[in-house]
Amino acid sequence: MSVTAAQGFRASGVTAGLKPSGRPDVAVVVNDGPQHAAAGVFTTNRVAAAPVRLSRAALADGRAAAVVLNSGGANAATGAAGLEDARRTVEHTAAALSVDPADVVVCSTGLIGERLAMPLLLEGVSAAAGSLSADGGGDAAVAIMTTDTVPKQALATGEGHVIGGMAKGAGMLAPGLATMLCVLTTDALLPSAVLDAALREAVRTTFDRADSDGCMSTNDTVVLLSSGASGATPDPGEFTELLRGVCADLARQLIGDAEGASHEIAIRVVGASTEAAAEAVARAVSRSNLFKAAVFGQDPNWGRVISAVGTVPEALAPFDADALDVSFNGVQVCRASGVGEDRSLVDLGAREVRVEIDLHAGSAEAIVWTNDLTHDYVHENSAYST
Q: Choose between 137 and 271: whose C-beta lies nearer to its own copies.
A: 271
Instruction: List binders of its own copies among 296-355 (CB under 8 A).
Output: 296-297, 299, 301-304, 306-312, 314, 321-322, 324, 334, 336-339
Q: Which of 179, 186, 206, 218 is labelled catalytic? A: 179
Alpha carbons 194 and 201: distance in angstroms, whole number: 11
Is residue 244 within 8 Å of residue 201, measured between CB atoms?
yes
DSSP collapsed to 3 states, 354-372: EEEEECCCCCEEEEEEEEC
Sign of CA dihedral 125, 126, 128, 134: positive
- Options 17, 62, 101, 113; binder of its own copies; rule CB under 8 A: 113
Minimum CB separation of residue 354 from its own copies in Å reads 19
Q: Choose between 101 and 113: whose C-beta lies nearer to its own copies.
A: 113
Alpha carbons 17 and 182: distance in angstroms, whole number: 22
Give the closest residue to 28 by CA, choosing from 116, 94, 79, 109.
Answer: 94
Q: Choose between 230 and 370: whose C-beta lies nearer to its own copies.
A: 370
Instruction: List binders of its own copies among 37-56 (CB under 8 A).
Output: 44-48
E strands within the chain? 9-14, 26-31, 37-42, 66-70, 104-108, 152-157, 162-168, 181-186, 221-226, 264-272, 325-328, 331-335, 338-339, 352-358, 364-371
Minimum CB separation of residue 263 from its own copies in Å reads 11
**146 given a catalytic annotation:** no
The three-point CA angle 105-107-112 to 5° equals 150
In the beta sheet, which residues pair with residue 286?
none
For its own copies, which stretch binds (CB under 8 A), given 202-210, 212-220, 225-233, 236-244?
A: 212-220
Minimum CB separation of residue 196 from its own copies in Å reads 23
DSSP strand pairing (325-328 vs 352-358): antiparallel
Minimum CB separation of residue 297 from its own copies in Å reads 3
- Options 82, 136, 151, 158; binder of its own copies; rule CB under 8 A: 82
Q: Choose between 196 and 220: whose C-beta lies nearer to its own copies.
A: 220
Q: Choose between 193 and 321: whose C-beta lies nearer to its own copies.
A: 321
φ/ψ of residue 222, rounded to 5:
-125, 120
Minimum CB separation of residue 306 from its own copies in Å reads 5
- Options 99, 102, 111, 331; binder of its own copies; rule CB under 8 A: 111
Helices (H) and strands (E) in the chain, counts: 10, 15
Minimum CB separation of residue 14 from its own copies in Å reads 26
The three-point CA angle 318-321-322 to 5° equals 135
Positions marked active-site: 179
Contacting residues toward its own copies, per CB under 8 A: 44-48, 74, 76-79, 82, 111-114, 171-172, 176, 213-218, 287-290, 293-294, 296-297, 299, 301-304, 306-312, 314, 321-322, 324, 334, 336-339, 373-375, 377-379, 381-383, 385-386
